Amino acid sequence: MGNCLKRSTTDDISLLRGNDSVRESSSDQLSPPNYQEALPAQQAILPVYHPSPSVTRSVAQLTEEEQVKIAKRIGLIQHLPTGTYDGCKKTRECVICMGEFMVGDALRYLPCMHTYHMKCIDDWLMRSLTCPSCMEPVDAALLTSYETN
C-alpha cells in the first residue's frame, strides 16, 4: 500500500538527495549522465567469446565471420532441450563443475542423453561442440535427431 498522506514537496527528487527541502534553482537539477564516460564501463561488461578453443576475444574484437559463426553456435545450443532438476533423475552431478544437482536447478540435455547444469554446458558448448562425457559431436547428433523425426 502507498502512503496516503500529502507531502509538502512537489517532486520526489529531494528523496534522492537525502534532503526534504525542495530546491528551486535549475543548477540543482540532476544533469544527464555523460555517455562518453560511461562507454568504457559498458565495454568492460561485453561478453567474451571463444571463436576457436585457443582464442578468447570480446565481442567487439571479433570479425564479422567469427560473429556469424558464434551466432550459429548460440542458435544451435538454444535448440537443445532444457528442464529443471526434480530430484528423481539418476544423474545427480554435473561433471563440468562437479557440483551436485539441487532441486530446481536449470538443466540442459544433450542428444547423447547426458545432463548438465545449463550454465555449465552452455559455456562448454561455446568452446567445443562436443559432449564433455562421451565426446560425441553435439551438432551432428542434433542434426541427426532432426532427420529421424
Cell numbers for 3 = 502512503
Cell numbers for 90 = 539418476
Listed residue (81, 82, 59, 54) closest to 69, CA to CA: 59
> How far, in Å, CA of 45 to CA of 66, rounded?
19
Domain that holds residue 74: 46-148
> Looking at the domain assignment, is residue 25 inside a domain?
no
- Per-residue pLDDT tens over the stretch 65-86: 888 888 888 889 999 999 999 9
Cell numbers for 92 = 545427480
> Looking at the domain assignment, is residue 28 inside a domain?
no
Average pLDDT of the segment spanning 86-102:
90
CATH number of residue 89's parent domain:
3.30.40.10
Residue 100 binned pLDDT confidence (cut-offs 50, 70, 90): very high
> Looking at the domain assignment, is residue 63 inside a domain?
yes
> Looking at the domain assignment, is residue 119 inside a domain?
yes
Question: How many structural domains does the chain have?
Answer: 1
> Looking at the domain assignment, is residue 30 inside a domain?
no
- Using DSSP's 3-state secondary structure scheme, residue 44 falls into helix
H or E, element range at 37: helix 35-44
- Per-residue pLDDT tens over the stretch 4-45: 545 554 545 555 555 544 444 444 555 555 544 555 554 556
> Looking at the domain assignment, is residue 127 inside a domain?
yes
Q: Specify the higher pLDDT residue, 46 or 130.
A: 130
pTM of the model: 0.59
- CA angle 98/103/109 to nearest 5° reads 65
> How far, in Å, CA of 142 to CA of 79, rounded?
8
> Looking at the domain assignment, is residue 120 inside a domain?
yes
> Looking at the domain assignment, is residue 36 inside a domain?
no
